[in-house]
Amino acid sequence: MGAICKNRLGRYNEGIEDYTNAIEIDPKYFFAYNGRGIAKSDLKDYQAAIEDYNKAIEIDPKYTAAYTNRGIAKSNLKDYQAAIEDYTTAIDIDSKYVSAYFRRGNAKSNLKDYQAAIEDYTTA
């Protein structure tokens, strides 16, 4: 998908446009909402990114990447407790999802819950 390449080239607005076009063609294409959310996060528009991740999760409640990406956006907004909840949901869906453990450890560390953070890092 061209949108992925555009995002990797830092052409986020073009990527957002491509994802939006894909969503217009197929409003249930959860991957496009997730990708558009990533581009919006890269532009530091975390609230808009969260809205896209919410839509991806609404369409596919088992899509772990959307929970993790939403957690990242929430962490960037310094809402670490909400981020932990998203990472935990991703882990509940896929207990081997290493990135979610690592990022949850980061969020716990930001809350100064160092022992819990160590446990997540160890699991990761």
Among candidates 10, 17, 61, 57, which has minimal Cα distance to 70?
57
Paired tokens of 38: 């990533």
From the number of C-beta atoms within 10 Å of its C-beta (0-12, 13-18, 19+), residue 85 rates as middle
Q: What is the per-residue pLDDT for 68?
A: 98
Question: Is the CB of residue 7 less than 8 Å from the CB of residue 14?
Answer: no
Model pTM greater than 0.75? yes
66 close to 86: Cβ distance less than 8 angstroms: no
Q: Rounded to whole angstroms, how far apart are CA atoms 72 and 66?
A: 10
| Predicted local distance difference test score (pLDDT) of residue 23 | 97
Rounded to whole angstroms, how far apart are CA atoms 49 and 37? 4
**Residues with pLDDT less than 50, the chain:** none
Q: Please tell me the predicted confidence (pLDDT) of residue 71.
A: 98
State residue 96's pLDDT score: 96
